[in-house]
Amino acid sequence: MTRAASPLLPMAYSDEVAAAKARDAPIVALESTIITHGMPYPGNLDMARSVERIIRDQGAVPATIAVLDGVLQIGLDSAKLEALAQTKGAMKLSRADLAFAIAERRTGATTVAATMIAAARAGIRVFATGGIGGVHRGAEDSFDVSADLDELSRTAVIVVCAGAKAILDIPKTLEVLETRGVPVVTYDSPAFPAFWSRDSGLKSPLMLNSPAAIANFQWVRDQLGVDGGMLIANPVPEENEIPRQEMEIYIRRALDNAERDEVSGKAVTPYLLDSLFRLTDGRSLATNIALVENNARLAAEIAVAMAD
């Protein structure tokens, strides 16, 4: 059962999220592209369920966001989550086409950018994901820069991730975030993480080491009237990491495959993730799941700290 959020916009809250909103409980948004385009079934469903469980264990409520048959869902019940994890033709939605999917009654998964828009619309301020989109390698020719970066600069949601994937050009990604005024805060480590690896080789612009300090930083930003989001980069736990040098070998191969297959646009990120999954015999997926779980825990702690 879901409850309509607005008589005009087809937007529905799950019972659990509606109840959390009614009592002002901390809520953590979750994206769905990672479920439909980021991991194969059934690992994607296991991940989605375990991430929700972790958020509940921390005293917050998970709100997985997606568009199902034209309805913007804020929170998915168990049956809807399962259906989405098995859906084949879901659109991959960003700022450009989130409204299109609703208007045309389609089913689509939300990227970081679209999830931020939906979360802000629902009054949710913290969001956990795996990795953000960024500036792709070779962007000087392809102009492939994720809309996630623009969204971070304009929409007031705290995004907890494990850094940027090394399939991207991480120095350029950090430059764009700096230009757009997005705070990049690494959690409890001086090095900016590179998703599967704890260290990208680059120093993080900012560092904080408690959820309370992150909540306080956001409070000061609000008081100052500084709008837009911020990025919290949470390094993957040591026991789950794949070192950078090793990952780089697979990444080069995945990028070669993408070039050979002439992959472009929205298809690039899902293609590379799938290619890496094969090249690492599934190891990249295990690491991916561990880091999303780790991010969900931190995001819930931040949401709880912000509610205090």
Q: Point out which residues bind Mn ion (CB under 5 A).
A: 144
Task: Give CA–CA dist 118/113, Å, rounded.
Answer: 9
Choose between 27 and 114: whose C-beta lies nearer to Mn ion: 114
Nearest approach in angstroms of CB 165 to Mn ion is: 12
String of b and e for 12-21 (b: at least 16 CB within 10 Å)? Answer: bbbebbbebb
Choose between 27 and 145: whose C-beta lies nearer to Mn ion: 145
Q: Find all residues with CB under 8 Å of 179, minimum gap 6, and list them.
A: none
Q: Respond yes or no: is residue 266 known to be catalytic.
A: no
String of b and e for 149-162 (b: at least 16 CB within 10 Å)? Answer: bbbbebbbbbbbbb
Choose between 34 and 231: whose C-beta lies nearer to ligand PSU: 34
Contact map string, positions 262 to 291, toward ligand PSU, x by CB under 6 A = ----x--x---x------------------
Choose between 20 and 108: whose C-beta lies nearer to ligand PSU: 108
Task: Give CA–CA dist 71/77, Å, rounded.
Answer: 14
Closest by CA to 237, choosing from 286, 272, 204, 281, is: 286
Nearest approach in angstroms of CB 245 to Mn ion is: 26
Question: Which residues in the 157-216 window bind ligand PSU by CB under 6 A?
Answer: 165
Task: Please provide the distance, in angstroms rounded to a whole number, between the alpha carbons at the two ends of the chain.
Answer: 30
Site of interaction with ligand PSU (CB under 6 A): 31, 33-34, 37-38, 111-112, 130-131, 133, 146-148, 165, 266, 269, 273
Q: Which residues are known to be catalytic?
A: 31, 165
